[in-house]
């Protein structure tokens, strides 16, 4: 937090943003406040690049409209918002997501993990890693490709039809298919994780010299694998059907 | 690279997109404030956001919502 701006000033600014009474001086003060996150933001981005070899997409400062929306929606003060500065990592699958989160915990020892996969926020699934640098927080969003696709769709629908959709208070004809799709994608990702585990198991079994009993084990695991692959195709078809139905309803 | 986006949420469309290299961070932040002040004066409620990515393609992958319409997003999902 900038030493020049007091917490009281920030929270009073937040109150004005919430009321929608934004003067040019408020925008200048908000700009100064957001710039105070630069050092922490840089620290996080550089650490992710150099120590993990990953390339995040950064958002050095949350937009004014997103800050106002958040203040209106939640009973928090401007000084309490944790994602003024942040960045996003999009990885392929759940296994990669778990690996990325563990790596982040390894480089940021004070990281606070918010796992929205088991307890989605109105359908939104991802893992957020909140890092404290001195007195400033930076949020790292870690999403799989499927979680990212869902989040982008939800955000776009919220842009056009009102941000309430993202927070469970919008048009039900849009919200319900989104929630349904989120649940299907969660099943698909759980299945995918099980597939990966079994593939690894088969690979270990195949690499060893096998007795008759072990050969039987391999065949059992391969049968299980085949069932999971079929289930995966069926889950993907269900998700795609929900997508098509949603599009038809909206258009 | 830094990307300054002015986005019309209601229409779901980018109004302006300005590109800056990393050495122009302060200039990009200054331009963001100038744009916000201009829009505030006009009473226009557009989202103004500064994003950073290794390339425009990388940005288009992680922030597709700004660049694609609903049908495009659904097809790509």
Residue with tokens 């800050």: A67
Predicted local distance difference test score (pLDDT) of residue A3: 52
- pLDDT value of residue A107: 96
Q: What per-residue confidence (pLDDT) applies to A177?
A: 86
Question: CA torsion, points A216, A218, A223, A227, in degrees to nearest 10?
Answer: 150
Examine the domain organization and report whether A172 and A212 are in the same domain. yes
Q: How far apart are CA A188 and CA A241, in angstroms?
A: 14
User: Looking at residue A244, what is its pLDDT?
Assistant: 73
Query: Can you tell me the distance from the alpha carbon of B16 to that of A130, in angstroms, rounded to the nearest whole number?
Result: 31
Task: Count structural domains, chain A.
Answer: 2
Confidence of residue A247 (pLDDT cuts 50, 70, 90): low
* ipTM (interface predicted TM): 0.93
Q: Please answer yes or no on whether B70 and A149 come within 8 Å at the CB atom.
A: no
User: A104 and A111 in contact (C-beta within 8 Å)?
Assistant: yes
Does residue A185 lie within any of the structural domains?
Answer: yes
Residue A122: its pLDDT value, please? Answer: 92
Q: Select the residue of B33, B49, B61 nearest A31 (Cβ to Cβ).
A: B33
Query: A128 with A194, same domain?
Result: no
pLDDT digits (tens, 9 = 90+) for A184-220: 899 989 988 888 888 888 888 777 777 777 778 888 8
Q: Please state, in angstroms and rounded to a whole number, the distance separating the CA atoms of residues B17 and A193.
A: 39
Nearest to B52 among A28, A58, A157 (CB): A58
Residue A112 lies in a domain: yes
A12 and A134 housed in the same domain: yes
Average pLDDT of chain A to the nearest whole number:
89
Query: Which residue of chain B comes nearest to A62, CA vs CA?
Result: B49
Host domain of residue A185 = 167-250
Cβ–Cβ gap A156/B73 under 8 Å: yes
Express each pLDDT in A6-51 by its tens digit.
Answer: 999 999 999 999 998 899 999 999 999 999 999 999 999 999 999 9
Q: How far is B65 from chain A (nearest CA, A)?
A: 5
> Above 80 in pLDDT, residue A97?
yes
Q: What is the dihedral of CA A26, A27, A30, A31, to 10 degrees?
A: -150
Of A23, A57, A63, the CB nearest to B52: A57
CATH number of the CATH domain containing A19: 3.30.460.10
Q: Judge whether A200 lies within some domain.
A: yes
> Averaged over B61-65, what is the pLDDT?
94
> pLDDT per residue over B23-58, tens digit each?
999 999 999 999 999 999 998 989 999 999 999 999
User: Which of B50, B51, B69 lies closest to B12 in space, CA to CA?
Assistant: B69
pLDDT tens, A41-74?
A: 999 999 999 999 999 999 999 999 999 999 998 8
A2 has a pLDDT exceeding 50 = no
């Amino acid at each position: 937090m900038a030493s020049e701006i007091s917490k009281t000033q920030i929270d009073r600014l937040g109150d004005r943003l919430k009321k929608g009474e934004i003067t040019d001086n408020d925008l200048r003060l908000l700009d100064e406040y957001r710039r105070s996150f630069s050092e922490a933001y840089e620290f996080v981005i550089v650490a992710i690049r150099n120590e993990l070899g990953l390339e995040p997409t950064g958002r050095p400062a949350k937009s004014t409209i997103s800050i106002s929306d958040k203040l209106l929606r939640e009973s928090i003060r401007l000084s309490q918002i944790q994602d003024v500065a942040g960045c996003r990592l999009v990885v392929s699958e759940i296994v990669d997501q778990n690996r990325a989160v563990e790596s982040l915990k390894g480089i940021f020892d004070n990281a606070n993990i918010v796992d929205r996969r088991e307890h989605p926020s109105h359908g939104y699934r991802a893992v957020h890693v909140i890092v404290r640098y001195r007195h400033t927080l930076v949020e790292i969003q870690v999403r799989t490709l499927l979680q990212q696709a869902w989040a982008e769709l939800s955000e776009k629908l919220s842009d056009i039809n009102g941000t309430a959709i993202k927070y469970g208070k919008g048009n039900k004809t849009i919200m319900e298919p989104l929630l349904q799709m989120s649940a299907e994608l969660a099943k698909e990702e759980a299945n995918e994780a099980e597939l990966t585990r079994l593939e690894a198991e088969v690979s270990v079994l195949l690499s060893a010299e096998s007795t008759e009993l072990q050969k039987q084990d391999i065949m059992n695991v391969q049968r299980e694998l085949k069932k999971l692959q079929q289930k995966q195709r069926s889950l993907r078809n269900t998700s795609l059907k929900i997508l098509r139905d949603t599009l038809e309803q909206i258009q | 690279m830094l990307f300054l986006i002015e986005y019309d949420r209601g229409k779901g469309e980018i109004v302006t997109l300005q590109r800056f290299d990393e050495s122009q961070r302060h200039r990009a932040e200054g331009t963001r404030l100038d744009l916000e002040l201009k829009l505030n004066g006009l009473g226009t409620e557009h989202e103004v956001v500064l994003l950073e990515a290794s390339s425009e393609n990388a940005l288009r992958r992680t922030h597709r919502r700004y660049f694609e319409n609903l049908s495009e997003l659904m097809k790509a999902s």
